[in-house]
Amino acid sequence: MHRPIDGYAPPPPAKRVIWLWFFCVCMATLIGVVILGASWATPVLAETSSQISQPAPAPDTACRGCHGDNQREIVLPSGEAVKLLVSLAHLDSSVHTRNAETPVNCTSCHTGVLRYRYPHQPNPAQSLTEFSGGASAVCVDCHYPHNPFHEIQDPVEGDGVAGLLDKEGLPACTDCHGNHEVAPVDQIDEIMPGACVTCHADQPEEWAAAFLAPRPGLGQGADGYVGSERCMGCHADRYLTWRETLHATTIQRVADAPQAVVADFAVDDPDRTFDLAQVALTIGGRWQQRFITQTVSGDLLVLPGHWNVATQEWVADHAAEGAGEGETVPLVNWVESCSFCHVTGLEIADPAPMLDAAGVAMTDTLVSATAGWSFQEFGIGCEDCHGAGAEHVADPATVKPYNQADDQVCGACHSRGSSPEGHPFPATYKPGDTLTDHFTLTTDAPTRWPDGSARIHNQQYADWMLGNTMQESGEIQCATCHAVHGAGQGPSQLVEPTNQLCASCHVEKLALANHIPYHEQAMKKRDFACNDCHMPMMATVAVDYDIHSHTFKQPNPQGTLDHGGLAAMPNGCNQCHKNLSETPEWAATTISWALDKYVIRSTSPFGPGPTPASPPVPTPLPSAGEQHEVSAYVDFAWVWPLFYGVLALVAVIGAALVARFVWLRRKSHVG
């Protein structure tokens, strides 16, 4: 039998049982908290490869049950309110729904285990702008970020998507596309005007609808063409400046753009046999302007006469000039003769047969030679130079358009000739093809000077291909000098003003007193441009010699003498020197004298200079619906509360044990 310790009396059995129960309850609570925390910490895993079958979509029953008739709203610190009601009808008709071809559930966008677990945590957004920006950051997980029609400043390096979406004044994704009523692409034109006027409150919806209206074509257009407006989403900066170019405005509807008419229809001129009411479309307007009428059957016909901008007068077409009094001039079918170089996505089909009442083709009878022809849009659009864009639009991350836009792309229209099918344009040519496989350039005497250079307009490509130091280098292309995505400088849309542009490669030639010392006196009387001598005006469009040569070979006066005079072969000198005494013989003699008298300081005729460069390709983002690798996600918001809770529990238990020990010691001393 053990002897009890002196001064110590064990607690009564009943009290020991109470303390034992207290200890068990504390331990059970601790274990329960740990188990509960572990259940909260279960990661939300995403499929990491296409080989793993997709799990069934998470049900949205709880979300829909609460937000389908929730009339409450949350008020952000800014004082702005966000409604909690979600229209289930709009949600179910949206492309972002669980019933869509690619299911999108509530938790596909509203991510975060604790953030959207009920009861919800307070929204971290301080204002409606922050709220929309947070939603937009989720959108770009699947979609390319874009902000069409709005100036996008370059984001600060490192900002990423947030740098694009959070700029002051820029709309967020949800501002234009909505939160839960995201419309399919083919309905955007219907719903977007209403979204526009929520910000542009001073404008009616009709204004927005007209602003957003696509550039209509004729029919469906060629397969794979989607229209320039689709490019705007990701390339808004290029699209908005391209709309001001000659390419974009080469042909315009008078009803939509009455300011496109530069001709004076108030002038009563016998060379004009039509009036403005008959004009449906205008062609050009920089040098001359032609006009198209549309028949009841839909044919587009070129009216007989055009307006010369330089002389401000009406000029009869050649066919009209040869017509007798009262004779009807046959109108040219514009689609068949001209459309390739004025539209995008031309589809040439066989002539359509006329059908009888039973729907049977009538033998050898055609409705129109171009009845089956169609095109995507009026004007020279993005796809005219970069190729059909449907595949790129569907998968921009991997399918890239033709971005070289070499000289052959320009040459398809800036040249004269015929195709194997007999068309006056390369009907089957597509960007990236070899142009000569689809088109034979003309060498007819009426269109060319004896040295091979262009005599009439629209032959810049043939001039360029005659061969010169720049063309042979392979480093200079049409787009090196000409702005293709903006209005550029001057009537020819140059990248820079003429002399500055040339000096980017030939800076030493700016010292004209050294470059052309025999013009020292003339330099005091007028300004010289490089293209006065190196690209003299040799071709004609509206008036004699109003188009610059593109051979970059100075036509020598000796060539004029060899070919029988200025009428047979002009030269660069006599384009300026036109006095009676300044004959080709005088010019040739003067050149010989200058070469003997002056030391011409010349260096390499071609320097490094700028070359055209495409904009950097946007960083690819996964396409909507594409499976993408996602790391296991754990929401650690529970960790600190659990830690402090366990720590507090341990402190309580420790304090209780210390108190019990002190109480027992004190009782033993008292006893």
Structural domain spans, the chain: 13-41+639-670, 61-182, 228-394, 448-597
The model's pLDDT over 230-254, given as tens digits with 9 standing for 90+, comes to: 888 788 889 989 999 999 999 999 9
Structure confidence at residue 199 as a pLDDT band (50, 70, 90): confident
Helices (H), 79-172: 88-93, 106-109, 128-139, 161-165
Give CB contacts under 8 A, 24+ apart, made by 292-296: 292/251, 292/334, 293/331
Q: Is the peptide bond before 431 cis (omega within 30 degrees of 0)?
A: no
Pairwise CA distance, residues 76 & 351, whole Å? 65
CA distance 20 to 13: 11
Please say whether the beta carbons of 236 and 146 come within 8 A: yes
Partner residues linked to 24 by β-bridges: none
Position 10 scores a pLDDT of 56
pTM of the model: 0.63
**End-to-end CA gap in the chain:** 23
Nearest to 106 by CA among 93, 118, 115, 97: 97
Provide the pLDDT confidence category of residue 545 given band limits of 50, 70 and 90.
very high
CA 599/CA 593 separation, integer angstroms: 11
Asked whether the beta carbons of 354 and 366 are under 8 A apart, the reply is: yes
Name the pLDDT band for 402 (thresholds 50, 70, 90).
confident
Name, in order, each residue with C-beta under 8 angstroms of 260's C-beta and a sequence gap of 6 or more.
249, 252, 254, 282, 285
Report pLDDT for 357: 54
The whole-angstrom separation of Cα 241 and Cα 243 is 5
- pLDDT band at 464, cuts 50/70/90? very high
Sign of CA dihedral 270, 274, 277, 279: negative
Helix (H, G, I), strand (E, B) or coil at 136: helix
pLDDT class for 115, splitting at 50, 70, 90?
low
Mind listing the pLDDT tens digit for each residue in 121-143? Answer: 788 888 888 888 888 778 877 77
CA–CA separation, 537 and 288 (whole Å): 17
Q: Give the model confidence (pLDDT) of 249-277 as tens digits.
A: 999 999 989 999 999 999 889 889 999 99
Task: Give mean pLDDT, residues 105-134.
Answer: 79
